[in-house]
Amino acid sequence: MTKKTEDVYGDHISHQFNDDLADLKANFLEMGGMVEQQLNSAIIALMENDGELADEVRAKDKEVDRMEVEIDEEATRIIAKRQPAARDLRLVISVIKMVADLERVGDEAKKIAKFAIGLVEEGQAPRGYIEVRHIGQHVGSMLRDALDAFARLDSEQALRIMKEDKRVDEEYQAATRSLITFMMEDTRNISRCMAVMWVLRALERVGDHACNLAENVIFMVKGEDVRHTPVEEAERIVGR
């Protein structure tokens, strides 16, 4: 199985076409790794009150943006020159959509870094760090698994990520409820609690983007669009 997925885009008559698609995939995964790193660093910066690290994250976002543009150009070139069809077309189209999601994850990381810097200046929030760590780990692993599913063309893993997203939403709801309760009890810390609230919101969005990546992986592998479809339907498609 692994062997098959390894060269599924690499057996064209045209070696150049093989190389083009391989480069596209490699660059996408590189961007994914970079974004993953950004998210991790942003969460650490927040948890450990590390302003310097947060600054780094903000600076590095430019690099993520640059990669997005480059990959888009690469994909456009492939469409113009190769007129890909079927699974090749689905790969290129999915990459175009997925880089947008990755870039947005990068933006969320940058946002988290910004709040981390604010909290370094204001002093740490009294509550919410456990939730940030927990949800942060959760969405971080979803993102990693989504990139992994892309690399291995694993639609079953992608399906699991889609299901995970529901849990993240629940965790996010629970965390905000408890923070709201805390803010009502102790109004002095509202602004700092709000910062944490925004961070949680950003993490929840990362979960959504990971879910989008997963949907695209299913599209690439199965050729069916599972966006806006019930999970049962996605299960049926993946199970085929």
Partner 1 sequence: MTNLKHPITASAEVKSESKPTVDQEVRTEEGIAYGKTVGKPYSDNAKFTLRDVNVFYSDVQAIKNISLDIAKNEVISFIGPSGCGKSTFLRCLNRMNDSIDICSVQGRLELDGVDIYQSKRDVVELRARVGMVFQKPNPFPKSIYDNVAYGPRIHGLANRKSELDDIVESSLKKAGLWKEVKDRLATPGTGLSGGQQQRLCIARAIAVSPEVVLMDEPCSALDPIATARIEELISELSQSYTIVIVTHSMQQAARVSHRTAYFHLGHLVEVNDTDKVFTTPEHELTESYITGRFG
Binding site for partner 1 (CB under 8 A): 11-14, 17, 82-90, 221-224
CB of 89 to partner 1, least distance (A): 7
CB of 12 to partner 1, least distance (A): 5
Q: With respect to partner 1, which residue has the nearer C-beta, 14 or 187?
A: 14
Q: With respect to partner 1, which residue has the nearer C-beta, 1 or 184?
A: 1
Q: With respect to partner 1, which residue has the nearer C-beta, 46 or 221?
A: 221
Q: With respect to partner 1, which residue has the nearer C-beta, 83 or 187?
A: 83
CB of 227 to partner 1, least distance (A): 16
CB of 151 to partner 1, least distance (A): 16
Q: With respect to partner 1, which residue has the nearer C-beta, 4 or 228?
A: 4
Q: In a 10 Å sphere around its CB, with 0-12 CB exposed, 13-18 middle and 19+ buried, how is residue 67 labelled?
A: buried
Q: With respect to partner 1, which residue has the nearer C-beta, 149 or 168?
A: 149
Q: With respect to partner 1, which residue has the nearer C-beta, 56 or 224?
A: 224
CB of 38 to partner 1, least distance (A): 32
The answer to whether the beta carbons of residues 142 and 205 sit under 8 Å apart is no
CB of 149 to partner 1, least distance (A): 14
CB of 13 to partner 1, least distance (A): 6
Q: What are phi and psi of 110, to 5 degrees?
A: -65, -40
- One DSSP character per residue, the chain reads -HHHHHTTTS--S-HHHHHHHHHHHHHHHHHHHHHHHHHHHHHHHHHTT-HHHHHHHHHHHHHHHHHHHHHHHHHHHHHHHH---HHHHHHHHHHHHHHHHHHHHHHHHHHHHHHHHHHHHH---SS-HHHHHHHHHHHHHHHHHHHHHHHHT-HHHHHHHHHHHHHHHHHHHHHHHHHHHHHHH-GGGHHHHHHHHHHHHHHHHHHHHHHHHHHHHHHHHH----TTS-HHHHHHHHH-
